[in-house]
Amino acid sequence: MTNSQRTVLPDSVRTNGATHNPWWDDAVVYQIYPRSFQDSNGDGMGDLRGIERRLPYLASLGVDVLWLSPVYKSPQCDNGYDIADYEKIDPRFGTMADMDRLLAAAHHYGLRVIMDLVVNHTSDEHPWFQASRDKNDPHADWYWWRPARPGHTPGSPGAEPNRWGGSFGGSAWTYDPRRGEYYLHTFSKKQPDLNWENPQVRQAVYRMMNWWMDRGIDGFRMDVITLISKFVDRNGRLPGEAGSLIKDLPAGEEGYSSPWPFSMDGPRLDEYLKEMRKAVFSGRDGYMTVGEGQGISPARNAAITDPNNHELDMLFLFDHVDCDQDGAKWNIEPLRLTRLKKALDGEQKAVGGKGWASLYFDNHDQPRSVSRWGDDRSPAARTRSAKALALLMHMHRGTPYIYQGEELGMTNAHFTRLDQYRDIESINAFHQRVEVAHVQSAASMMRSLAKVGRDNSRTPMQWDDSTYAGFEEADAVDDGGKAPWISVNPNKDEINAEAELHDPDSVFNFYRRLIALRHTDPVVSAGDFHLLDPSDEHVYDFTRTLGQSQIITVVNVSGSPARIPTQASDLLRRADTRDRDTRLLISTDTQERLRHGIRTGVLDPWMAFSLETRLPKEA
């Protein structure tokens, strides 16, 4: 679809509260995980030239923005989220010349490019960190360094400054013999946290961001950006440190306390985001910023994304993707639809006046939604449930994010052995929970990994049904190249882009229709959201309203027949009496099956649809 075919919203129609409306008010973002997208040179790793090769595919899908997970120079402890040089491309992905070529080619196709920005922490191999290991260096205070707990021998058990545990297992503190102190890492020990209390750190980050913006990128997705402000007392001590005025939390089941309540949405977060906005984006047009919002409530999201506050354009919230967890990521429960409704409804209501929502189920940190909440046990069920979940999410108000392969209905990896995993979080969690803390059995933990482990979304993109799914050529591997860095999902024979491109009933073409609706129907991009039937555990239904136009969306989120709930049934009955004013926008089923479902009040498994109707004018 060309820009001339898109509906431009008039200023009288509000989106996020800005004047004028932002360019991204009807945009759709596509996330690329570079190492798993397309290998161009047979080394087993996806790369920038591989992405460039697939730009026609992305343009044909209809997306507007490409978000690249990190391609900076990195030891790859956490697949690039441990950056050793922000202004160099990692050789695994190519060169800076390749990056410049990709930017130019993407812009030629009308695709904007945003890069992942990881500035809560760096790699321990970054020159800033290496310099900070010397107490007399100007970088000495660029990270969170602390002495051993009083009365303890440095480096001995229990000598850590407080009891915080790291997100990837073990203590959040590592002793450095060269400096004779501990440094904080809320993730891996190879990912030391930057000290944003130091203004020199912030200015260095802003200079780097401006360097990339000047190079031609269109914005940033900011990794764990809501962790950059830590809670410290008036003496600069973190909770639980000796002499701190802030008490730490009790130790959890693995023997450590959680740093998250004292790291998420800290007291200076708004200050830092406003400062960043002014230092990097003031005077620039056409950019986009989205932050990963750990610990951010819907109300705080509304404040941070309110354009009058000059912070971020969007945030990723976690309430809805955490609604099937019982206190911890690895304690998974069957989805209760009412919990998902409550979470998404809260996110939508909060930005009903000002601010904006990010719409997503899948990304590089989440499992495949079709395996998590859909049904991937048969091709038919997978296709239907993938479409139903897509329609549910994309008909909400906000900016949709599609994770690579989601538009094909790609599934979880279904690994059965620990040695099949590559992700540091999954591997460390298994050892910590099973072998150290003994809080979960090996069999139970393997089931958890198979359900929600991050590698489920990181298997190679399935382009065709060849040996390596078109991610790379088998001949290249036979001629001395390397097999993909992680196993290809065997179901690439039935789930692949080549098979779906020309199938009008494919998941891919369903996504194309959803994207086109957002581009052309103002109700989809800007209409107010209202949840219907919040207590129904099988059907998710809601309306979107703009002026006299209303869209009614009804989704059976189950593999069994389900009755249309009361509120939706009443609206559909009234809409049916005005046939000339009602049109079917999109459906997972034929019109014949849909009419039968509406007439009988019973939806087929995974049946989903959106109807648009005209409301009667008020007297």
Length of the chain: 619
Whole-angstrom Cα distance, residue 320 to residue 341? 8
The beta strand positions in 445-580, using DSSP E, are 528-532, 539-546, 549-556, 562-563
Q: Which helix (H) or strand (E) holds 174?
A: strand 173-176
223, 345, 347, 589: the catalytic one is 223
Q: Is the dihedral of CA 138, 91, 455, 423 positive or negative?
A: negative
In 3D, which of 445, 119, 158 has the Cα closest to residue 289? Answer: 119
| Residue 292 falls in the annotated catalytic set | yes
Task: Please state whether beta strands 85-89 and 602-603 pair in parallel, antiparallel, or not at all (unpaired).
Answer: unpaired
The burial class, CB within 10 Å (0-12 / 13-18 / 19+), for 378 is exposed
Whole-angstrom Cα distance, residue 250 to residue 258? 8
B/e letters for 294-314, b = 16+ CB within 10 Å, e = fewer, are: bbbebebbbbbbbbebebbbb
Q: Which helix (H) or strand (E) holds 614?
A: strand 608-614
Residue whose token pair is 């007392």: 233
Whole-angstrom Cα distance, residue 194 to residue 438? 32
Contacts of 319 (CB under 8 A, 6+ apart): 298, 343, 346, 347
Amino acid in the structure at residue 100 = D
25, 82, 90, 292: the catalytic one is 292
Residue whose token pair is 């099949």: 420
Whole-angstrom Cα distance, residue 221 to residue 245? 35
Whole-angstrom Cα distance, residue 364 to residue 321? 13
Task: Please state whether beta strands 602-603 and 29-32 pair in parallel, antiparallel, or not at all (unpaired).
Answer: unpaired
Report whether 127 contacts 137 (CB < 8 A). Answer: no
| Residue 494 falls in the annotated catalytic set | no
3-state secondary structure at position 392: helix
Report whether 165 contacts 258 (CB < 8 A). Answer: yes
Cis peptide preceding 538, ω within 30 of 0 = no
In 3D, which of 404, 395, 305 has the Cα closest to residue 67? Answer: 404
Query: Which residues on adjacent β-strands are paired with residue 556?
Result: 539
Indicate which residues carry an active-site annotation: 223, 292
